[in-house]
């Protein structure tokens, strides 16, 4: 992989230059080397970091968790168990979000079916049926 400018990296990974600068500022990626003219350049190692971050962000991992993950990654193999645990926690959070989203989708589908069948015209409360208080 050749060294790339910030513009080239943003195009390659479909993220903005501002996002790349932000990731560097918050420590999500290591400090990016600069050329003599002050421009950032992303070597193979830096591109690898960015690929990892983009993949994990697309997997739903929060920026906050990624910061912790990146710090542990820099500490080396002694953090393998902690990194695995962090990813398991992120997975658990996503599964909970999925559960809540599935429940909401099912409720809306049911409500739409009431319109489609004409049953919506009946004066009925669906508060208990939807078990809103159980959320």
63-101 tens-digit pLDDT: 999 999 999 999 999 999 999 999 999 999 999 999 999
pLDDT, mean over the chain: 90
Backbone angles phi, psi at 9, to 5 degrees: -65, -40
Residue 19 has pLDDT above 70, yes or no: yes
Query: Other CB atoms closer than 10 Å to residue 37's CB: what's the count?
Result: 5
Q: What's this model's pTM, rounded to 2 decimal places?
A: 0.75
Residue 14 has pLDDT above 70, yes or no: yes
Provide the pLDDT for residue 119: 82
Cβ pair 41, 7 in contact under 8 A = no
């Amino acid at each position: 992989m050749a060294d790339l400018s910030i513009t080239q990296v943003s195009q390659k990974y479909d993220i903005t230059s501002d996002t790349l600068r932000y990731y560097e500022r918050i420590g999500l990626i290591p400090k990016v080397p600069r050329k003599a003219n002050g421009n950032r350049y992303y070597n193979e190692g830096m591109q690898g970091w960015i690929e990892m971050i983009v993949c994990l962000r697309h997997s739903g991992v929060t920026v906050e968790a990624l910061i912790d993950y990146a710090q542990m990654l820099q500490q080396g193999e002694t953090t393998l168990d902690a990194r695995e645990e962090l990813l398991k926690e992120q997975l658990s959070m996503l599964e909970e979000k999925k559960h809540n989203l599935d429940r909401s989708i099912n409720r809306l589908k049911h409500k739409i079916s009431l319109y489609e069948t004409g049953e919506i015209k009946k004066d009925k409360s669906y508060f208990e049926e939807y078990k809103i208080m159980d959320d």
